[in-house]
Every structure is written in C-alpha cells, then in structure tokens.
Amino acid sequence: MKLFPLFALAGLCLIPSGMAQQAATPAQIFVEVNRDLNGYKSLEHAYEVKEGEEPFEAKAWFSGGVFRRIKASQKAEGSVLTRDFYYDPEGALRFALASLALETKDAKPARLVEERFDFENGKLVRYLGPDKQPVAKADKNFAEMETALVEMSQDLIERIEGSTAYAGMIGEDAPKAAAGTVFGAGYSDGTFAGTEQGDYLHLDIEQADGGIETFFVIKPDASLEPILKDVAASKGTKLRVHWTEKMQDIPEAGEATRLKICDRVEVLK
C-alpha cells in the first residue's frame, strides 16, 4: 500500500467520494464536524514509513462507518507538518488544511504556515495559499495539490479501514484476504505485561488506559531476548512494539489468520 510522503507542502491532498451536488459548503462541513466531534467514534495510531523517515500519527473520527475527519501529523527537524481532512455525511472530501508549525529559537510560540482547500464533487475548487490569497486554477500548484491531497486522503482511509481496530468499532468482522496480505504497519507504546504460549508466543503490552494489546511472535527478534530471558523481572518495562498487521498462514489451524505480529521491540526510558 502506498503512503504518499507527509513532507513537502506541495504533497498534501484530499480525496473525493460523492459525485452528487452537495448542499452544504466546505466551510459549513468544517463547522459541523468540529461542532459534533465529541459525538463521533475515534481511533488513533502511529504508522511507520520508509527507513530513515519519521513515523506519522493519524487520528480518525467517524459516524456509522463514514469518515468525517482524518488528521495526520509528522515531525521533522523541530517542525510539525499536519494534514487535516474533512468529509461530508456521505464520506466525500469537502475541506482540507495543510499546516506547518515552524520551530522558533527565541522561546516564542511556533510560527504557523497554513494552506486551505475547498472541494466540490471530488474536485478542488478553491485553494488559499500561505498568504491567505487564492491560488489561480491555472497555476500548476493548483492541480498538483488536488492530486496530492486525494492520494493522501485515500491512503489514510485504506490504512484505517484495513485495521482490526476500525473493523471492531463499526461492528464488522475483519475481511478475509489471502495469506501474506499486509494491512498496515506501525508501533505501539506500553508496559510489558507478560507472555502467553499457544501455537506461537504471545507478547502482552498494557496500554495507558489499562487495556492489554497482544502481539504474536512468529520468529523472535534479537531485541526480544533480554525481555524473554527473565519474563517476571521484565514486567513493567516500558516498550515500543514495532508490528506488522497481516494475514499469517497458521499450519496448525489449517488456514490464514489476521494477526498483529511483533517485528521488534525498543525499551523506552
């Protein structure tokens, strides 16, 4: 699954959905979503990208399985780049914000550079640049931003819809797919709570809210050796678990099963 780079403001884009004429304006969708935000279901996670790039965090709000807002943020050399997408009740992209919070060296609040985008019927119809002035449709940046925002929005939606967390929250079983299918990758922070042994080793991590997240260890990585050497003494250790969610072939079960597999761990201070 392709992840459109989170860096470079020229790479921010939104996704269209419905082609019917929408009554509400993009500004009204923005106001409506933020007004009702606390009433939506939400989930968030950190996702890894290519080696050498910073991971990004994404939070999604949805109602009845329809996305209403997705916000993705990524740090880079002291600054924070954010893409914020807003969708109408049918799931069509209507409004987007791209912002870059630039670090200052004089203890003042970070300087914010922001661009705004209005969408109608899947097309970018209005683009306000960082100077808050409209960018002409004939400007090459106009078409580039439309394409980039659409790709980013679609990629985020696919990643979130492919997660077991999303499937569980909307009351659907995780979709069946062929063995080897990868739904996503990321990391989870928590406290080591112990292990369980089944057909494979299970690594249990306690989250901040007290819940337990379990990861399957198909092939122990060297980073796990200090933890597994003395499980009892390791309990309470703060860990970052890097994982891949995929359809894993389980010979003992005679079928492929969707699992979150521990790739490696980091000990956090």
* In the predicted structure, residue 235 carries a pLDDT above the cut 90: yes
Which pLDDT value is given to residue 14?
A: 33
pLDDT of residue 12: 39
The secondary structure of the chain, three-state, reads CCCCCCCCHHHCCCCCCCCCCCCCCHHHHHHHHHHHHHHCEEEEEEECCCCCCCCEEEEEEEECCEEEEEEEEEEECCEEEEEEEEECCCCCEEEEEEEEEECCCCCCCCEEEEEEEEEECCEEEEEECCCCCECCCCCHHHHHHHHHHHHHHHHHHHHHHCCHHHHHHCCCCCCCCCCCCEEEEEEEEEEEEEEEECCCEEEEEECCCCCEEEEEECCCCHHHHHHHHCHHHHCCCEEEEEEEEEEEEECCCCEEEEEEEEEEEEECC
Give tens-digit pLDDT for 86-126. 999 999 999 999 988 876 666 565 678 899 999 998 899 99
pLDDT of res. 211 = 83
Q: What are phi and psi of 39, to 5 degrees?
A: -90, -5
Kindly indicate the confidence band of residue 170, based on its pLDDT and cuts at 50, 70 and 90. Answer: low
pLDDT of residue 50: 61
The pLDDT value recorded for residue 91 is: 92
**Domain spans, the chain:** 9-168, 182-267
pTM above 0.75, yes or no: no
Residue 186 pLDDT class (50, 70, 90 cuts): confident
- pLDDT tens readout for residues 209-221: 788 899 999 988 8
pLDDT at 19 over 70: no
Does domain 182-267 fall under CATH 2.40.50.140? My reply is yes
d(CA 184, CA 59): 15
If phi > 0 it is left, if psi is from -120 to 50 it is alpha, else beta; for residue 207 that is beta
Q: Is the pLDDT assigned to residue 255 strictly greater than 90?
A: no
Whether the predicted pLDDT of 162 surpasses 80? no
Predicted confidence at residue 160, as pLDDT, reads 83
Rg (CA), the chain: 21
Instruction: Give the phi and the psi of residue 31 in degrees, each rounded to 5.
Output: -65, -45
Mention every residue, 6+ apart, whose C-beta is less than 8 A from residue 82: 71, 72, 73, 74, 97, 98, 99, 100, 101
